[in-house]
Structure 1
Amino acid sequence: MRKFLAVSAALAVLVAGCRGTGPDASAASDGPIKIMVGGIDKVIYLPAKLTEQLGGFQAEGLNVQLLTEPSGATAENVLIAGDVQGVVGFYDHTIDLQTKGKCITSVVQLADVPGEVEIVAAGKASSIKAPADFKGRKMGVTSPGSSTDFLTQYLATKGGLTSADYTTVKAGAGQTFIAAIDNGGIDAGMTTDPTAAKLVSTGKGKVLLDMRTEQGAKQALGGLYPASSLYMDCAWVQSHPEQVQKLANAFVKTLRWIKGHSAEEIAAKMPADYAAGDPQLYAKAVHDSIGMFNGDGLMKEDGAKNVLEVLSQFSPNVKGKKDQVDLSKTYTTQFTAKVAG
């Protein structure tokens, strides 16, 4: 019996040793890397699915499984629970979570601007022309406590209002947001492409504020507001540097690919069902939003400071704790800076 156990132990060690050899060993030993996307068909998170479509994960020897939740706030909860290793969502969650004692860091910053638009129902466009006109209105956000909620509060403040001056409505995204515009559930709301493109093309909505470009974001928010990112638990990043570097390689190469191709070429690489039966409209949605992606995956320090400034005013978790937040722990450029040209 002792001899059998000794042989079994030796075999286990041998198998473990073999498992640790080869270029993809570190990625393969832990199984698939699960990444939750806060709405995988949203153009603001397009680099995640596009990387998969281009074979970027496979080229790096990674086994990545992309999952989706409609809200970034929901996606972060899945990460905290340990059910996934990363989230493609808004950077501001890393700051918010730090005030709750969680260390979450952005390892690839996909965009320097939100990529969001404030859409007004066509019938209300003549009376809602600026954030000051939010007063007494029903304002749609993805969900309470989401990035769109904080940004809406910030815009209202610039218009001389507070969140008590309007009604916050959970409008979700995609069809639920469109339905809220259709049935009068909201007078205006913050959303992204392709939802924005669908509302504008059908005449159901008009763009009030456009934060899909650097110029538009600075006009609406007073500066850059880094948003779409790949963020992960700090402990996982520290214990899996090889996998994180490979993820950074894959994502940055996709960002570079985006900069070198047209909206039509990008749209053609995406799953056909993302176009919802209208490839031309989807290509337009991509065209209107691709300017948000930065091309290098690097965080801009001033942008991170601006996000903290906004959250310190409107996030219940960050209010009064601005000086306690260590921004250097909310993002890192150590991986994206190493991606070969």
Structure 2
Amino acid sequence: MNPSRRAFGALSAMVLAGAALRTPSATLAPQLTVAVGGRSTSAFRHLPLTVALQLDFFRQEGLSVSVREFASDALALDAVRQGAAQVCAIGYEHVISPPLGAPEVRSLVLQGRAAQLALGVSTRALPRSNTLADLRGRKVGVDALGSLSHAMALLVLARAGLGPQDVTYVAVGAGASAAAAVRAQRVQALCHGDPVMAQLESKGELRLLSEARTLGGSQAVFGGALPGGCLAAPERFLHQRAADAQALVYGLVHALKWLQTAGPGDLVKAVPAADWQGDRGGYLAAFARVRETISIDGMMPSDGPATALRTMASLHENAQGLEHVNLARTFTHDFARKAKQRFFV
């Protein structure tokens, strides 16, 4: 387990311990486990959840929340299927296009409203490359095949005249393993999220050719508002434990509001040091760039589901059957709307 995962697990334990120390009746508080998928792929996809845990926003709602980390969204969904967690923190794209065998879940609150991804070429492998067309016959790293980064690379390269057969896509994983793949020249380009993209760019190891880490960049790449990370749960949970679902969303939207005005010093105090990956300055700079992509109120943008559906349809292995997806059943505004009214966001 990497330091970031240990820190996040320890953070969850501290939240629960703190609740027990401060509140005599804490043992009577409803217990909830959130399965977190692919957290190390992007430092900011689950930042609101981290903040809500660190600042005790869930405890303030009378809810004891613990987290379990998984290497991918697919594994987080599987944890919900097996009953090891009631809620999952995943990319919305996996709500509308779940892996084979995954349970049907519904997004109840958004954490992000953009992809928070970028695509760049290795300055060592392709020192004179300034166009995407130069990637013909090359290897492009993505965090996982079938992921949003894979879909983004397909879309961007298609506009440069390159089809799926013109490049080889390689799953490079998250964080350090993705950076290592670039440095070892196992891939000549990388489509990934921060902090790895920010670190490689700042060191001159990557030259960015496509940007979706801002609202404008994401709009340009995907042709509409693209929902990012979300908290999702099966319909049965939303009905049987509606009060707990609402408390969870209250805590998360509280964190969203906090993030809108938090300064660098506030963020440093609220985020485990392991999340900086040894570069606090780089982390804060990357946060400043993606800050606008963090959801303001947890609500789903009106064109978000359709944009996500078009994006995932670009992945050939996932395209079949997506035309039958009932987008209205992939999310609910019931909980986020109440939180929006309560926190005036």
Go from structure 1 to structure 2 and tell me whether the alpha carbon gap of 1:90 and 1:26 turns closer, same or farther (over 3 Å shift). farther
Q: Deviations over 1:172-193 (max 9, x none)?
A: 1110011001000111111111
Aligned twin of 2:332: 332
- For the residues of structure 2 that align with 1:94 and 1:329, how far apart are their CA atoms? 10
Aligned twin of 1:151: 152
Q: How far 1:144 moved relative to its partner?
A: 1.4
5+ unaligned residues in a row in structure 2: which ranges? 1-23
- Contact (CA 8 Å) 2:77, 2:103: kept in 1 or not? no
Aligned twin of 1:109: 110
- Contact (CA 8 Å) 1:26, 1:242: kept in 2 or not? no
- For the residues of structure 2 that align with 1:143 and 1:76, how far apart are their CA atoms? 16
Q: How far 1:228 moved relative to its partner?
A: 1.1
Aligned twin of 1:67: 68
- For the residues of structure 2 that align with 1:237 and 1:47, how far apart are their CA atoms? 21
Task: State which drifts further: 237-246 or 201-210.
Answer: 201-210
Structure 2 residue matching 1:152: 3-state secondary structure: helix
Aligned twin of 2:6: none
The structure number with the bigger radius of gyration is 1
Q: Deviations over 1:298-333 (max 9, x none)?
A: 0012111111112223252332x3431100111111
Matches within 5 A, 1:89-104: 89-97=90-98, 102-104=103-105
Q: How far 1:210 moved relative to its partner?
A: 1.6
Q: How far 1:260 moved relative to its partner?
A: 1.3
- Contact (CA 8 Å) 2:37, 2:74: kept in 1 or not? no
Matches within 5 A, 1:163-312: 163-312=164-313
Task: State which drifts further: 183-192 or 91-100.
Answer: 91-100
Q: How far 1:94 moved relative to its partner?
A: 0.8
- Contact (CA 8 Å) 1:154, 1:314: kept in 2 or not? no
Q: Which amino acid aligns with 2:176?
A: Q
Task: State which drifts further: 147-156 or 220-229.
Answer: 147-156
Task: State which drifts further: 269-278 or 294-303.
Answer: 269-278
Structure 2 residue matching 1:184: 3-state secondary structure: coil
Structure 2 residue matching 1:180: 3-state secondary structure: helix
Aligned twin of 2:54: 53
Go from structure 1 to structure 2 and tell me whether the alpha carbon gap of 1:272 and 1:98 turns closer, same or farther (over 3 Å shift). closer
- For the residues of structure 1 that align with 2:300 and 2:131, how far apart are their CA atoms? 30
- For the residues of structure 2 that align with 1:335 and 1:187, how far apart are their CA atoms? 44
- For the residues of structure 2 that align with 1:172 and 1:72, how far apart are their CA atoms? 12
Aligned twin of 1:323: 323
Q: Which amino acid aligns with 1:134?
A: L
- For the residues of structure 2 that align with 1:141 and 1:227, how far apart are their CA atoms? 17
- Contact (CA 8 Å) 1:72, 1:90: kept in 2 or not? yes
- For the residues of structure 1 that align with 2:230 and 2:214, how far apart are their CA atoms? 16
- Contact (CA 8 Å) 2:142, 2:150: kept in 1 or not? yes
CA RMSD of aligned residues (A): 2.4
Go from structure 1 to structure 2 and tell me whether the alpha carbon gap of 1:35 and 1:73 turns closer, same or farther (over 3 Å shift). closer
Aligned-residue sequence identity (percent) comes to 25
Go from structure 1 to structure 2 and tell me whether the alpha carbon gap of 1:305 and 1:23 turns closer, same or farther (over 3 Å shift). farther
Matched length: 317
- Contact (CA 8 Å) 1:256, 1:295: kept in 2 or not? yes
- For the residues of structure 1 that align with 2:151 and 2:52, how far apart are their CA atoms? 29
Aligned twin of 2:35: 35
Structure 1 residue matching 2:113: 3-state secondary structure: coil
Q: Which amino acid aligns with 2:314?
A: Q
- Contact (CA 8 Å) 2:81, 2:102: kept in 1 or not? no
Structure 2 residue matching 1:148: 3-state secondary structure: helix
Q: Deviations over 1:27-73 (max 9, x none)?
A: 52xx3423324215722221111111111111111111122223223
TM-score by length of 2: 0.84
Q: Deviations over 1:62-121 (max 9, x none)?
A: 111122223223323333333222222210101112996842111111222101111321
Q: Which amino acid aligns with 2:175?
A: G
Structure 2 residue matching 1:156: 3-state secondary structure: helix
Go from structure 1 to structure 2 and tell me whether the alpha carbon gap of 1:27 and 1:130 turns closer, same or farther (over 3 Å shift). farther
Structure 1 residue matching 2:303: 3-state secondary structure: helix
- Contact (CA 8 Å) 2:35, 2:70: kept in 1 or not? no
Matches within 5 A, 1:123-142: 123-124=124-125, 127-142=128-143
- Contact (CA 8 Å) 2:37, 2:69: kept in 1 or not? yes
TM-score by length of 1: 0.85
- Contact (CA 8 Å) 2:212, 2:221: kept in 1 or not? yes
- For the residues of structure 2 that align with 1:86 and 1:163, how far apart are their CA atoms? 34
Q: Deviations over 1:248-289 (max 9, x none)?
A: 101111111111122442233111222233322221122222
- For the residues of structure 2 that align with 1:68 and 1:274, how far apart are their CA atoms? 14
Go from structure 1 to structure 2 and tell me whether the alpha carbon gap of 1:236 and 1:199 turns closer, same or farther (over 3 Å shift). same
Task: State which drifts further: 183-192 or 280-289.
Answer: 280-289
